[in-house]
Chain A
Amino acid sequence: MEYADIIHRCFRCGYCKFTRDYRDFNCPTYRKFWFESYSPGGRMWLLRAWLNGEIPSSQRLAEIFYSCVTCGNCVEHCALEFRENLVNIFVAARKEMVEKGLVPPAVRDYLKGIQTHGNPFKEPRQDRDKWAEGLGIPSYSGQDYLLYAGCVASYDDRGKKIARAVASVLKEAGLSFGILGGDEASDGNEVRVLGEWDLFQMLAEDNIRKFKGLGVKKIIAISPHAYNAFRNDYPPLGGKCEVLHYTQALDQMIENGKLTFSSGKDARVTYHDPCYLGRHNGEFDAPRNILRAIPGVRLTEMDKIKKNALCCGGGGGNFFTDIIGGGEGAPARVRIREAAETGADTLAVACPKCAKMFEDAIKAEALEGTIKVKDIAEIVCEAGKG
């Protein structure tokens, strides 16, 4: 297994479980399950034991590895020099499980959906552009930017609303962009982190071929997960484009004076950093800059933000597989409680997966009258322009 030569180096000191200032456990699975086995250090030791034959393969072992949300909190806070590879090690362990046929049924079903339908919802490919109906968004044909929606924004009802909001704002601001519509395919980020490298490579190479064929030079991604794949995993495979998350594009337009606001709804807003935009790619400012530029929006930060933000629990494939599961300790429920504690009436997000996770959490926590979830693009849509 890749990284097998370094997994013994984990001391299990536990820095990986915390925020930087140690105020709270911030590994989503550890704080949900409380067994050391669900901490990054526990996984390192279990992985070594498994590879050495000291513990057998089991469904539970697979669940321990597939419950990891790949949020990168451990990478951020581990005290040792191999920290950069922690998430990579867990992904490599999953790869090993894929190769041995040991993945949990929910992971198998996800991968099967991607393999057979090109999306995990098992929806027809030609329905992929239904989210854009009536918006008058052209197909990509050499415009400045390709707007890439991704599976959740293409098929999930909540995600579709976000895609429409992003496209509407970009169009209103006069940006030159097009979409792939029914020709769009999964970016493969979750496929890769679930350990199915061959399928990821196939998806990525297919997308790269398509992008090259169409002359795509610049991509705006709605999902931070797609943004991460295009930015970090496609270049080694030959896919080198300028990639922006849509909040970065909006931030640039605000800075260039192409997007200005005349009015906005009065709202007390707190912002949740998506892991694949924040910790994985270092973008913490663009979403906040947008919120600060909108009249009436008062940004109130949660205790744990930026590199110390708690994951919504939807990363690492868990949005689809839900191996981390529900209950009071579910990360999205913990996080929505933290958001509500700020007194904010709106939790702003910048990821369709986060939006869906938190809306479910609001219902589970009976916080419907207290706080609502809005994507930043939706908040921008509601504001008066010019």
Chain B
Amino acid sequence: MARIIYDALAEIVGKEYVSDRAEELFLYSRDPGTMDPKKPDYVVLPKSVEEVQAILHLANRERIPVVPLGGGLVLSGLSRPLKGGIVLDMKRMNRILDVNEKSRYVVVEAGCSQGMLQAYLNRNYPHLKHSIPDSPPSATIAGNILIHGSGHMSQATGFHSEMLNGLEVVLPTGEVCKIGSCSTTPYWFSRAPLPDLAGLFLGWHGTTGVVTKLAIKLYPNPAKKDVMMFLTENPDYMPDIISKVTGTEMAEDLNVSASQLPDYMEGLQLSLIYVTANTIEEIDFKKRTIRETLRSYINQKEGGFMFVPTIAKGRFIETPLREMTKFADSKKGGGFEYVGAIMPIELFPEAYRKGLEIAAKYETPYSMAVRIIGRAHCMMFAYAYAFNRADDNDRKKAQRALHESNIAALELGGIPWKAEEPAQKLILERMDPETSRLMNRIRAALDPNGIMNPGNWEVK
């Protein structure tokens, strides 16, 4: 039977783009995070929406699970095939199809990477940009949007999923469906004013269909960029500091980091305030305004701006942040995962203290990073744990620390983002039963044979 399915897949995509070999099954059974591997039966690299359709028809006929994969950098194991089947690596579908300069959007295929779009805009539309996550450039636009990602413009504009204008999706049963204005007009300008069906695919971890194209919003790309760094030692001040800075409407991005290493940073909360402008006068005005709004902390010697040499600023301003990747090797162990909990701003002090507590319990240096979302409507509070990939006990220790962080985030009133399979169960346990029943009804309607990434968002 396996050979028949392999041959059928090879017939669809070409034999060079399907594998059931040990090497691919090994690699596609895991991601760089801590979760245990789950082996697929086949890895398939489609090139067109028609090929995706044919694969889903086959999968329905044969009742084979299908797991879509973008850049494979989610870290929480969402593209591990929990029940085997086909991993659909979408990266051959990587074209940039259309840029609408006036209505400021771009249409891309699902395998298009963040890096490729960034470079394309830099070369061809330097006055436009998209919001770039802190993940490496090989992360895909689609993958990040579909997990409700965030990035360097999220303070100003919200979650990346809010920047989505439209989708082309192959439904689990194989039909191609358009979502948003592109369903009705040739343009991909908006999800409104139609019923917003994008919600059927956002945050579902590939359990409701395979996205093949999408449009995202682009934004003006001011020529001047700068970063200000504000230090405090009292986490109780942070909600007010965040509120004050975002209240100026001058910051494009606002992150807070707190890390035990290097040891001279221990106990400090470092706010990275990113400012962009078209002129020197404008950027100076914005920086002055931000400085003034935090004046009371400076006067009371409760905080202050850090001098940052230009060369160091460059490393913080770079998108994507290469420095972020280096955290993975901070233990010279190549491993790193984080719980990014979405929560209200006022929970910062408690979330921070919980992070210290968990890190101390697991005898690992604490490392927390916070991104403010949508003018402080909420934040992504990340508890990061590096681990040594060569030491399985260390990986499992990080896994336990992450699970405890997920529990802590939920108990505080937050919700783990791109939650691992065990954390999804924690969320579902706390979810209003009617909400989870609705999720199940939607899934059953869309995916009658239960082939799409089974094991995720699953309620018995």
Which residues of A are at the interface with B, using a C-beta cutoff of 8 A? 6, 8-15, 17-19, 21-24, 33-37, 42, 45-46, 49, 54-56, 58, 60-61, 64, 79-82
Residue among B19, B27, B116, B122 with the highest chain A CB neighbour number at 10 A? B27
Q: Could you say which of B43, B120, B122, B329 contacts A9, with CB atoms under 8 Å apart?
A: B329
Cβ of B17 within 8 Å of any chain A Cβ, yes or no, is yes
Partner of A36, one of B72, B118, B119: B72
List 19 other contacts, CB 8 Å, given A34-B17, A79-B322: A8-B333, A9-B332, A10-B334, A11-B335, A11-B336, A13-B138, A19-B119, A21-B119, A22-B137, A23-B115, A23-B120, A35-B27, A36-B27, A36-B72, A36-B89, A46-B23, A58-B21, A80-B329, A82-B329
Check if B325 sits within 8 Å of A80, measured CB to CB.
Answer: yes
Cβ contacts under 8 Å, A33 to chain B: 16
**Is there contact, CB below 8 Å, between B119 and A22?**
yes
Interfacial chain B residues near A35, Cβ < 8 Å: 19, 24, 27, 43, 45, 89
Min C-beta distance of B1 to chain A, whole Å: 22
Given the complex of chains A and B, what is the CA–CA distance between A315 and B22 in angstroms? 27
Indicate if B288 sits at the interface (CB-CB under 8 A): no
Residues on the A chain within 8 Å of B45, using CB: 34-35
A55–B26 touching, CB < 8 Å: yes
Residues of A within 8 A of B385 (CB): none
Give the complex CA separation of A46 and B25 in angstroms.
Answer: 11
**Beyond A9-B389, A22-B116, is A17–B26 a contact (Cβ under 8 Å)?**
no
Q: Are A9 and B24 neighbours in the complex by a CB distance under 8 Å?
A: no
Taking the closest CB of chain B, its distance from the CB of A37, in whole angstroms, is 5
Interfacial chain A residues near B73, Cβ < 8 Å = 13-14
Q: How long is the Cα–Cα vector from A54 to B120 in the complex, in angstroms?
A: 40
- In the bound assembly, the distance between CA atoms of A10 and B27 in angstroms comes to 13
Asked if B329 and A11 sit within 8 Å, CB to CB, the answer is: yes
Are A8 and B389 interface neighbours, CB within 8 A?
yes
Report whether B26 and A23 are in contact in the complex, using a CB–CB cutoff of 8 Å: no
**Nearest-Cβ distance from residue A338 to partner chain B, whole angstroms:** 14
- Complex contacts, B123 vs chain A, CB 8 Å: 23
Whether the Cβ atoms of A24 and B389 lie closer than 8 Å is no
Q: Within the complex, what minimum Cβ distance (angstroms) separates A215 from chain B?
A: 47
Query: Do most interface residues of chain B lie in helix, strand or loop, or is the interface mixed?
Result: mixed
For B71, list chain A residues within 8 Å (CB): 14
| Known contacts A11-B32, A22-B115, A34-B89; A46/B325 CB under 8 A | no
User: B201 on the interface (CB 8 Å rule)?
Assistant: no
Nearest Cβ in chain A — how far from B33, in angstroms? 10
Q: Is the CB of B390 within 8 A of A8?
A: yes
Q: Which of B23, B91, B326, B334 contacts A8 (CB 8 A)?
A: B334
Contact status of A18 and B336, CB under 8 A, knowing A11-B328, A58-B23: no
Partner of A14, one of B118, B136, B389: B136
Chain B residues whose C-beta falls within 8 Å of the C-beta of A34 in the assembled complex: 17, 45, 89, 91-92
Note all chain B residues with C-beta closer than 8 A to A49. 26
- Interface residue tally for chain B (C-beta within 8 Å): 44
Please give, as numbers and ranges, the residues of chain B lying within 8 Å of A24 by CB-CB distance: 116, 119
Residues of B within 8 A of A9 (CB): 329, 332-334, 389
Instruction: Report B102-118 CB contacts with A as 1/0, cut-off 8 Å.
Output: 00000000000111101
Bound form: Cα–Cα A240–B227 in Å: 49
Chain B positions 1 through 37: 1 when the CB is less than 8 Å from some CB of chain A, otherwise 0: 0000000000000001101011110111000100000
What are 6 A-B interface contacts by the 8 Å CB criterion? A11-B334, A17-B138, A22-B116, A34-B91, A36-B27, A42-B27
**Contact residue among B72, B89, B136 (Cβ-Cβ distance under 8 Å from A79):** B136
Q: Which among A10, A23, A35, A58 has the highest number of chain B CB atoms within 10 Å? A: A35
Interface residues of B in 334-362 (CB under 8 A from A): 334-336
- The residues of A that contact B183 with a CB separation of less than 8 Å are none
The interface residues of chain A lying within 8 Å CB-to-CB of B122 are 21
Residues from chain B with Cβ under 8 Å of A61 in the complex: 22-23
A residues within 8 A CB of B136?
13-15, 79
Determine if B181 is an interface residue (Cβ-Cβ < 8 Å): no
Taken together as a complex, chains A and B put the C-alpha atoms of A21 and B115 apart, in Å, by: 7
> Which of B114, B120, B389 counts the most chain A CB atoms within 10 A?
B389
A55 and B138 contacting across the interface, CB-CB below 8 Å: no
Quote the shortest CB–CB distance from A3 to chain B (angstroms).
Answer: 13
Distance between Cα atoms of A58 and B23 in the complex (Å): 9
Shortest C-beta distance, A200 to chain B (Å), equals: 27
| A58 engages B92 (CB within 8 Å) | no
A33 CB → nearest B CB, Å? 7
Asked if A13 and B116 sit within 8 Å, CB to CB, the answer is no
> In the assembled complex, how far is the CB of residue B368 from the closest CB belonging to chain A, in whole angstroms?
20
Looking at the assembled complex, report how far the CB atom of B68 sits from the nearest CB atom of chain A, in whole angstroms. 15
Nearest CB to that of B30 among chain A residues?
A45
Q: Which residues of A have CB within 8 Å of B43? A: 35
Chain A residues whose CB sits within 8 angstroms of the CB of B335 once the complex forms: 11
Are the C-beta atoms of A36 and B28 separated by less than 8 Å? yes
- Does B27 lie within 8 Å of A45, measured CB to CB? yes
CB neighbours (8 Å) of B89 from chain A are 34-36
Contact flag A79-B115 (CB < 8 Å), given A14-B138, A36-B72 = no
- The smallest beta-carbon distance between A68 and chain B, in angstroms, is 14
Contact A18 B32 (CB under 8 A): no
Q: Are B120 and A64 touching (Cβ within 8 A)?
A: no
Contact of A80 among B23, B92, B137, B326 (CB under 8 A): B326
Known: A9-B332, A13-B73, A17-B138. A64 touches B23 (CB 8 A): yes
Determine the chain A residues whose CB is within 8 A of the CB of B333 once the complex forms. 8-9
Contacts of B24 in A (CB 8 A): 35-37
Q: Are B322 and A15 in contact (CB under 8 A)?
A: yes
Whether A15 touches B137, Cβ cut-off 8 Å, given contacts A10-B334, A22-B118, A22-B119, is yes
- List the A side residues contacting B22 at CB < 8 Å: 55-56, 58, 60-61
Chain B 312-337 near chain A by CB (<8 Å), digits 1 or 0: 00000000001001101100111110
Q: B26 contacts which chain A residues (CB < 8 A)? A: 45-46, 49, 54-55
Determine how close the nearest CB of chain A comes to the CB of B264; give it in whole angstroms. 21
Residues B371-414 near A (CB distance < 8 A): 388-390
Interface residues in B78-98 (C-beta closer than 8 Å to A): 89, 91-92
10 smallest CB-CB distances across A and B, nearest first, come from: A22-B115, A14-B138, A23-B119, A11-B328, A9-B334, A8-B390, A13-B136, A22-B137, A8-B389, A79-B325
Which residues 236-287 of B have a CB within 8 angstroms of A?
A: none
Proximity bits, B282-311, A CB within 8 Å = 1, else 0 = 000000000000000000000000000000
Partner of B325, one of A13, A37, A42, A45: A13
Cβ 8 A contact of B326, one of A10, A22, A58, A79 = A79
Q: Closest B residue to A19 by CB, please name it.
A: B119
Chain B residues, Cβ within 8 Å of A15: 136-138, 322, 325
CA distance A9 to B138 in the complex (A): 18
Q: Assess the A8–B388 pair: CB atoms within 8 A.
A: yes
B325 proximity list for chain A (CB < 8 A): 11, 13, 15, 79-80
**A18–B71 CA distance with the chains assembled, in angstroms:** 13
B-side contacts of A64, CB under 8 Å: 23
Query: Nearest-CB distance from A329 to chain B (Å)?
Result: 9
Chain A hits for B119, CB < 8 A: 19, 21-24
* Complex: A15 Cα to B42 Cα, angstroms: 26
Q: Is the CB of B336 within 8 A of A37?
A: no
Instruction: Say how far B154's CB is from chain A's closest CB, in angstroms.
Output: 20
Q: Shortest CB–CB separation between residue B65 and chain A, in angstroms?
A: 19
Q: Which chain B residues lie closer than 8 Å to A19 at the CB level?
A: 119
**Once the chains are docked, how many angstroms separate the CA of A60 from the CA of B332?**
30
Determine the residue in chain B with the shortest Cβ distance to A20.
B119
Closest A residue by C-beta to B28: A36
